[in-house]
Amino acid sequence: MTEKLSDTGRKTMLPALTEAGWTLDEDRDAISKTYKFDSFVSAFGWMTQAAIWAEKWNHHPEWQNTYNTVKVTLTTHDVDGLSSLDAKLARKMDQLAG
Ligand SMILES: C[C@H](O)[C@H](O)[C@H]1CNC2=NC(N)=NC(=O)C2=N1
């Protein structure tokens, strides 16, 4: 069962995510990042790869694609806030973006 991130969990995970360009929306308890690629095909290819991981981990992003830009928001709907799965998917998305 997924659990909401504890205060200690937040203190260890959020600095690295912020450093990597993720921003915290405190009202929603979600993290967001906008990725920019050099073309629509690159953006969509990255989304396809990320979608496979999301499905494998049963943890799905909220995202919006416009041409070469993808705006991603991660939060855990089941716990109404951030969980370690959000940090895990964020790191994977960054890794896939290179
Ligand atoms: C029933 C199903 O396992 C759940 O609804 C999963 C699916 N994907 C999910 N994705 C995200 N981001 N948060 C969830 O709470 C969540 N729950």
- Alpha-carbon distance of 97 to 61, in angstroms, equals 15
Instruction: Give the residue, by CA position, lying nearest to ligand 1 atom 5.
Output: 78
Which helix (H) or strand (E) element contains residue 36? strand 30-36
pLDDT of res. 35: 98
Does 55 sit in the ligand 1 pocket, CB within 6 Å? no
Give me the mean pLDDT over the 55-80 stretch: 98
The structure's pTM equals 0.97
Residues 21-65: pLDDT tens digits? 999 999 999 999 999 999 999 999 999 999 999 999 999 999 999
Residues 82-91: pLDDT tens digits? 999 999 999 9
Does 88 sit in the ligand 1 pocket, CB within 6 Å? no
- Return the domain boundaries, the chain: 7-97
Give the distance (Å) from ligand 1 centre to CA of residue 49. Answer: 18
Q: Beta strand pairing status for 23-25 and 30-36? A: antiparallel
pLDDT of res. 69: 98
- Alpha-carbon distance of 11 to 62, in angstroms, equals 24
pLDDT at 1 over 90: no
Residues 4-23: pLDDT tens digits? 999 999 999 999 999 999 99
Give the distance (Å) from ligand 1 centre to CA of residue 12. Answer: 23
CATH-assigned architecture of domain 7-97: 2-Layer Sandwich (3.30)
